[in-house]
Structure 1
């Protein structure tokens, strides 16, 4: 579906929410929706069951929660607003205690 700027973030050891987060962009609401639909269809076809989906039908952003994998698909300006790469990226400390 030609998702743009796809990033995979390893969440193992950072959170119990999931093991992997995938973030991608679509050029428009229609593109975001098409990417999400294709991913959902592929997950079902490969036996991953029914993932929980949020953000449809508006399609500014879509979250697909497949248990161990979270997939976020954004329009570029919405992706920049949430900036999940910075929040969950590789540079984020794991288990570090803040001095206080």
Structure 2
């Protein structure tokens, strides 16, 4: 995937998360730092129902926009749902679970803090 397409994919993900009222959206640039993805997006939902809804809507939107079927893990419990869109991995949490795992701290590189998503 070209850099422009990766940027479009990231913008689409961040916009959809904003539209679905995901909270505390953070994007972490992994390009050149990890082979799993170029970006990791972390967001919260207020409840398991909202987390599941956000994940399902995002997966459907990505498929509809031509980014292929994405892999979803963590449904139906929806405490932590992982959405794998290839170059972008999205983690959706209930706030308590997000706080416990603290992925932002684990994946922070050097002095550069994660970038809050603004769509």
1:36 partnered with 2:58: no
Residue in structure 2 matched with residue 77 of structure 1 by the alignment: 96
Choose between structure 1 and 2: higher helix proportion. Answer: 2
TM-align CA RMSD: 1.4
1:47 partnered with 2:88: no
Aligned length: 93
CA drift of 1:21 comes to 0.4
Unmatched 5+ residue regions in structure 2?
Answer: 1-19, 113-119
Question: After TM superposition, which residue ranges in structure 1, 4 or more long, deviate above 6 angstroms?
Answer: none
State TM-score, norm by structure 2.
0.75
Higher alpha-carbon Rg: 1
State TM-score, norm by structure 1.
0.88
1:18 partnered with 2:41: no
Unmatched 5+ residue regions in structure 1?
Answer: 94-100
